[in-house]
Amino acid sequence: MIVGVPKEIKNNESRVGMTPAGVFELVKNNHTVYVQSGAGKGSGFFNQDYQQAGATILDTIGQVYAMSDMIVKVKEPIAEEYDLIQKGQIIFTYFHFASSEALTKAMIASKSICIAYETVEDEEGTLPLLTPMSEVAGRMAIQQGAKYLEKPVKGRGVLLGGVPGVAPGRVLVLGAGTVGIQAAKMAAGLGAHVTILDINMKRLRYVNDVMPSHVVTEFSSEFNIRKHIQTHDLIIGGVLLKGAKAPNLITRDMLKEMRPGTVIVDVAVDQGGCVETTKATTHEDPIYIIDDVVHYCVANMPGAVPYTSTVALTNVTLPYVLKLANAGWRSACNLDKSLAKGLNIVDGEVVYEEITEAFNWESVLA
């Protein structure tokens, strides 16, 4: 199979879909790999690194798409890429279709094979290709939140860890999944007081077992959320419904109950956000303020630490890339049920029900 690795062109996205180590494995399996010139530069991988691993360097993104059977990316294609995608071409990347009807319609029109990292699901029900980026984003959420709590950027002026004689900052984490647990771990490490909410008691028991005593668990309800937003300095949105739009746990009217300078970091922004006032921002212009509440809603948070993120991502995607390349998508998905769950759009038809539900379309799966 001919595998193409284009340069990411989304704003401030420095990750790349494959490392030279991944290229080496594909070439060893008798596949051809085309890498766009400069694709890995932002992650610390240069053209000569890819060439030494056996890749051929192409000058333009158009050449990579035109000459490849499968495209391996990080982020969803943006408008400039829509016309480059060919009928029957495999696109293996993060899509988050439920948050973008325009992207979904464009991929339907392309009649490509869209396999989404975020819906590949293993036998335990976990999402192995989403987990490493959720780990990065969860940890980064606290770094960014701590920064935007500073007064010069309109935050409350609170140091999360406090100092002797001054109480530490208070962090509210919505969701005890991968993002939530990593955020709680980082916040606890800084010395903050952490409250983590979830509707899954099994997850809350796990958090209670592994976290220090200043990480407190509570069952998630609108009543409890409204209570805690009044007293917490930093709020982390880490809610995920597999392949579907995130629920709005914090509504517009709740902002008025928060103290001025409270910071919200909505990690769920890729799936529409779990805060009603969430709108996607970029690393270039990461925050906006509504009702004196600072919103940080960068849709590709791990893109700010591209070396860590690229290596973490490709560690888990490469085995699936090899399966797709070795067997073709049909056979690979027949043989691997977890990979089959990654199929979202095939030959112009939506085959992942949560997408049709997100846009209230009539399901073709019935």
Tokens standing for residue 356? 């049709």
300 is in an annotated binding site: yes
Residue 298 annotated as binding site: yes
- Based on the residue annotation, tell me whether 96 is a catalytic residue of this protein: yes
How distant, in Å, are the alpha carbons of 45, 123, 270 from that of 313? 15, 20, 17
Is 210 a known ligand-binding residue? no
Q: Is 270 annotated as a binding residue?
A: yes
Which residue among the candidates 69, 233, 270, 336 is catalytic per the annotation?
270
Q: Any binding-site annotation on 166?
A: no
CA dist., res. 218 & res. 227, Å (int):
12
Spatial contact of 264 and 235, defined as CB atoms under 8 Å apart: yes
Does the annotation flag 363 for ligand binding?
no
User: Would you say 268 is a known binding-site residue?
Assistant: yes
Q: Is 15 a known ligand-binding residue?
A: yes
HSE (side-chain half, CA atoms, 13 Å) at 84 = 20
Buried b (16+ CB within 10 A) or exposed e, 226-243: eebbeebbbbbbbbbeeb
Q: Tell me whether residue 270 is one of the annotated catalytic residues.
A: yes
294 is in an annotated binding site: no
Q: Is 239 annotated as a binding residue?
A: yes
- Backbone φ/ψ region at 88: left (φ over 0), alpha (ψ -120 to 50), beta: left
**Cα(94)–Cα(178) distance, rounded to whole angstroms?**
17
Given the residues 96, 193, 228, 295, the one annotated as active site: 96
Binding-site residues for NAD(+): 134, 198, 203, 220, 239-240, 267-270, 298-301
Binding-site residues for substrate: 15, 75
Binding-site residues: 15, 75, 134, 198, 203, 220, 239-240, 267-270, 298-301
Which positions are annotated as active-site residues? Answer: 96, 270
